[in-house]
Chain A
Amino acid sequence: MFSRWDIRITPYLLIAPFFLVFGVFGLFPLLYTAWVSLHDWQLADGNQGFVGFDNYAALLADPLFYNALFNTVSLFLISTVPQLLAALGLAALLDRSLKAKTLWRAGILLPNVVSVVAVALVFTQIFDRDFGMVNWLLGLVGVDRIDWQAGVFSSHVAVSAMVMWRWTGYNALLYLAAMQSVPREQYEAAELDGASRWRAFWSITVPSIRPTILYTVVVSTIAGLQLFVEPALFDPKGTAGVGGSDRQYQTLTMYLYEKGFRVFDAGYASAIAWMLFVVVLVFALANFMVTRRSVRDS
């Protein structure tokens, strides 16, 4: 009797904790965000009544929202596109018989095991106007000091540098893992046909690792559009920052944080969250389609 029950029920009990934790602390809050966004809801004082789509109407008329949206998309493009291409190149470099394999692989993964707080703080120093390494190097070739935080583009470049440093090696390892399962005979055949290395890379390697490329594109899109820590800490005034004097690098997640946990307007912040959710969804789908189209199937 017990053993029948055991065989039938226990498997569900073993997987239940995951669904419970995800449901309670992941899915439910996400869905509940939509409900909160339809209310005048203050973080400390609670629900002040149903207001319909007022928060969204206010948001769509809020120039700071568009500013944050622009910054989010811009930072995403500058950091993700070059990063994934660099990761692809790096993986190709690693996908051959090398000495000291583990050294190279661990070396490129190192930036990813360091906390994002540490990355943001170190790079803030490196991009410092007066004492930073980058400006010193630029000075060697005669370029004047740049106040990296001050400009829209320059601040986006600096923040993107952090993201790239942190994630290129990680993504390269994912690509490398996929590349290693490409049968070597395919390359030999291509070589016999007189195809160049470059040609073989684009017509054999890249199509073969298409699922992994699609996966990294989607995951990087989802994570990249929610960027928070790097720009939030790229600021001498620390976490209280709103992304520069003119909010030139305030992302949507930073704006959500500001509205929710500095101004304590939970309703408005939830509206931002839900809009960002839509943005993430649209971009993830669009990038998935574009990548699927442009990377040929094997």
Chain B
Amino acid sequence: MFVYGGLAAILLASVFPLYWSFVVASKDNSALGEATPPLVPGGNLFANIARVFDTVDFWAAVQNSLIVAGSVTVSNVLLSSLAGFAFARLRFRGRNTLFLVVVGTAMVPTQLGVIPLYLMMAELDWYGQLQAVIFPALVSALGVFLMRQACEEAVPPELVEAARMDGCSVLSTFWHVGLPAIRPQAAVLAMLTFMTAWNDFFWPLIVLDPNDSPTVQVAVSTLASGHFTDYALMLAGTSIGVLPVIALFLLLARQVVGGIMQGAVKG
């Protein structure tokens, strides 16, 4: 009983800030000044959301985020699966060392290279363009790690061997034997990648033009600027910005939890 009570309290603490953001988003700003904070949603949600769309070009931001997160997801799942398949089921020299290098790269603080990365993008004339955000995220160490693990678990070595005997090329072996077997894990990776890309902020803030080509996160953050803090507006933007990710998460919660816990059990 004590355990469930504790867990329920923690669950409440996890959910409350999100609920609260929704409550503030549905209020008139003056309601926040009341002596007791309002715990029940008010009737201004749609008015505040409309104000968000008036203040920033939110549709463009949603479109940009969808393009970025969509392309990054497709690319990361495909490239990570290919690499994971190679690491798990193909034999080549330096395989183990190279895999360790992949895992090690996850610990490199690449964010600190942001100045030259920006200079590079400026040189390419990619400032303010979505590909500047897409290219650095095309494939990830976590993706390769998870897909290697997925192939180890789900792709029978005998089937790979048999396909080779039948004269299948490596690629068609991957396509016909590897990929179908790891579809569930690939879906989890897709989901994790999509969320990460959708939520990314530091690099898009730097390389995209906040007035011209922002992603959702950059657009939402501009709602917070200005001398007067308009909490209802700010949190209305926040609420619609988190909605797609929360919806996806609720739909696939079990798989996402599984994916993250799998990433943890490493050798």
Contacts and interface: CB of A to CB of B under 8 A. Distances in A.
Interface of A: 2-3, 6-8, 10-12, 14-15, 17-19, 21-22, 25-33, 36, 43, 90, 93-94, 96, 98, 102-111, 113-119, 121-126, 128, 130-131, 133, 136, 165, 169-170, 173-178, 181, 211-212, 215, 218-219, 222, 226, 228-229, 233, 235-240, 253, 256-257, 260-261, 266, 269-270, 273-274, 276-277, 280, 284
Contacts of A280: 109, 112
B47 interface: no
Interface residues of B, number: 96
B17 A29 contact: no
B86 A14 contact: yes
A226 B109 contact: yes
Given A98-B3, A178-B265, 15 more contacts: A11-B90, A17-B79, A17-B138, A26-B110, A26-B113, A33-B113, A96-B3, A104-B11, A106-B256, A107-B11, A109-B253, A131-B231, A211-B266, A215-B264, A257-B206
B188 interface: no
Contacts, number: 291
A27 B15 CA distance: 38
A260 B265 contact: no
B195 A229 contact: no
Contacts of A130: 33
B63 interface: no
Given A121-B238, A238-B222, A266 B115 contact: yes
12 contacts: A6-B169, A14-B86, A18-B102, A29-B114, A90-B10, A115-B201, A122-B235, A173-B261, A174-B260, A219-B107, A256-B115, A273-B112
Contacts of B136: 21, 25-26
B256 to A, nearest CB: 7
Interface of B: 3-4, 6-7, 10-11, 13-15, 17-18, 20-21, 24, 32-33, 36-37, 79-80, 82-83, 85-87, 90-92, 95, 98, 101-102, 105, 107-120, 135-136, 138-139, 141, 144, 167, 169-171, 174, 195, 198-199, 201-202, 205-206, 217, 220-222, 224-229, 231, 234-235, 238, 241-242, 245-246, 249-250, 253-254, 256-257, 260-266
Contacts of A94: 7
Q: Give the most central of B102, B109, B227, B254: most A CB within 10 Å.
A: B109
B235 A125 contact: yes
A105 B262 CA distance: 14
A119 B21 CA distance: 9
A274 B105 CA distance: 18
A115 B199 contact: yes
Q: Give the most central of A25, A28, A215, A235: most B CB within 10 Å.
A: A25
A31 to B, nearest CB: 8
Given A30-B110, A177-B264, A237 B225 contact: yes
A102 B234 contact: no
A115 B195 CA distance: 8
Given A98-B3, A108-B11, A219-B107, A115 B115 contact: no
